[in-house]
Structure 1
Amino acid sequence: MVYMKRLAQPRTWPIEKKEKKYIAIPLGKKHTESISLVCALRDMLHLVKTRKEARNLIRENCVFIDNKAAKDEKIAVGLFDIVALPKIKKFYRLVLSNGKLQFEEIAETNKKICKIIGKKILKGGKIQLNLYDGKNFISDKKEIAVGDSVIVDIVQNKITGHLPLKKGATLLVISGKYASQQGKLLELEKNKAILQCENKKLEVPKKNLFVIG
């Protein structure tokens, strides 16, 4: 397992820095927008007390991320990923609130929101969409653009909805100094956007935005 010193952990991690010296680094996703599964189970959800207990849960196929059985306590749980423990009927979504990653308990669901980070035209005119969480889909929906979000059915593994990045859309800022702020899109330029957040306007890099409504 790869570690970092807790004093150097991202500000988005809601974990006590002085309790222990080291903390597990999530593998496979951006650190500021994800947490390792062992930290999720032990330090945030308090479902286990030790790394060994977390590993045992995983080995017994008790933990699922986006409807897939987790195989390793080091893997990353990313923003909007769904962590399910069906044997005890517990379901959680990782969100960003008040500048921190947090788990919200939810009802059992097969729906997940995800951002489009890449788009490629394939032979025959089909389109490959690359998603924020590492998934890829083949689609014929030419209107879906990089920066938009889609609703994914994680059970049937297909896109069921489209949330375009356009004026009036509800956006979440996922990184930078305004991380966790939400607002309506007022203006969109090549590399930045203007958001109306309550009674103030924010100028945010386009890459830091996530369409949520």
Structure 2
Amino acid sequence: MSNHQKRLSVPKSWPVERKTDTFTVKAQGPHGEDGVPLLIVLRDVLGYVGSKKEARYALEHGSVLVNGDEGVSEDRPIGMFDILAFTEREEYYRVFPDEGGRLALTPIDADAADSKLAKIEDKTLVSGGRTQLNLHDGKNLLVEDPSEYAAGDSIVVSNDDDEIVAHFPYEEGSLVTAVRGSHAGDIGEIDEIQVTPGSGSNNVIVEGDDDTFETVEEYVVVIDENFTGDGGDGE
């Protein structure tokens, strides 16, 4: 299998030009094809490195943290709600969906970089009778009381110890952002959740500041009122 991704065929969420070099690095790991390889972020988006070698050096020396982790690979996918910390520069960013579904870097305060928002995709029962929360980025968390959480809810997880420090239920009245579809990047409150019989996706009516839009519930993520994509806001 090739380790290169043709630049013209990269997902639309990747903030790279499609008519320059023929190849770019291929995403491997969390977020899958929805993620942007860290090398692309460091070199093409921020311009902090000029080559793969420079990116690898910075990562090996702890100058770049991803969700609090050191020593990550340059091809590690960066995706929705990931936290990037540049320790020497004292710069911190959250990956947030922008208009059109592209991923954008939003500056945040250092305190906000200590934890990360995640959407609960579903719950599964594992050995020992415990319940596992399966999150949007492929991460899994064990919880003692599964009744507190439901698919579609969002949680804020500490980068240090994976402790859940906040929980936002998916329900009418919740603040959400659309992360896919024609309304990607829009923010508003859920006005109505329309349950579709059978296996079809439920529809969500969202009332924003400027207008009301409709999308499917897979495309929305519950966020905190301070989590609006504006610089300096924390979870």
* TM-score using structure 2 length: 0.82
Aligned counterpart, 1:90: 91
**Corresponding residue of 2:135:** 131
**Counterpart residue number, 1:47:** 48
Contact preservation (8 Å) 1:45, 1:103: no
In the alignment, what sits opposite 1:200? 211
Distance 1:60 1:123 in 2: 38
Alpha-carbon distance change, 119 to 65 in structure 1, aligned in 2, over 3 angstroms: same
| Equivalent residue, structure 1, for 2:14 | 13
Identity %: 30
**What pairs with 1:22-171 in structure 2 (closer than 5 Å)?**
22-28=23-29, 29-32=31-34, 34-99=35-100, 100-108=102-110, 109-122=113-126, 126-141=130-145, 142-171=147-176
Q: Give the Å deviation of 1:38.
A: 0.3
Corresponding letter in the other structure for 1:194: I
RMSD: 1.9
Structure 2 CA distance for aligned equivalents of residues 122 and 15 of structure 1: 40
Of 172, 183, 187, the residue aligned with 1:182 is 187
The alpha carbon displacement at 1:20 in A equals 1.4
Is the Cα contact below 8 Å between 2:67 and 2:115 reproduced in 1?
A: no
Name the CA shift for 1:70/1:209 in 2 (closer, same or farther; >3 Å): farther
Q: Could you say what secondary structure the match of 1:68 adopts?
A: coil
Q: CA deviation at 1:209?
A: 1.2
4+ residue stretches of structure 1 with deviation over 4 A? Answer: 122-125
- Report the more deviating stretch, 125-134 or 200-209: 125-134
Encode CA deviations 1:82-117: one digit per residue, 9 max, x unaligned: 111223322211111222211122221312111001
Q: Distance in 1 between matches of 2:97 and 2:67?
A: 18
Measured against aligned partners, the alpha-carbon deviations of 1:179-202 in whole angstroms (never above 9, x if no partner) come to: 222221011133221111334322
* CA apart distance, 1:59: 2.2
What amino acid does structure 2 have at the position aligned with 1:102?
A
Q: Which amino acid aligns with 1:103?
A: L
Does structure 2 conserve the Cα–Cα contact (< 8 Å) formed by 1:117 and 1:130? yes
Amino acid at match of 1:27: Q
SS at match of 2:148: coil
In the alignment of these two chains, the number of paired residues is 212
* Structure 1: segments with no counterpart, 5+ residues: none
Counterpart residue type for residue 223 of structure 2: I
Give the structure with the larger strand fraction: 1
Q: Which amino acid aligns with 1:132?
A: H
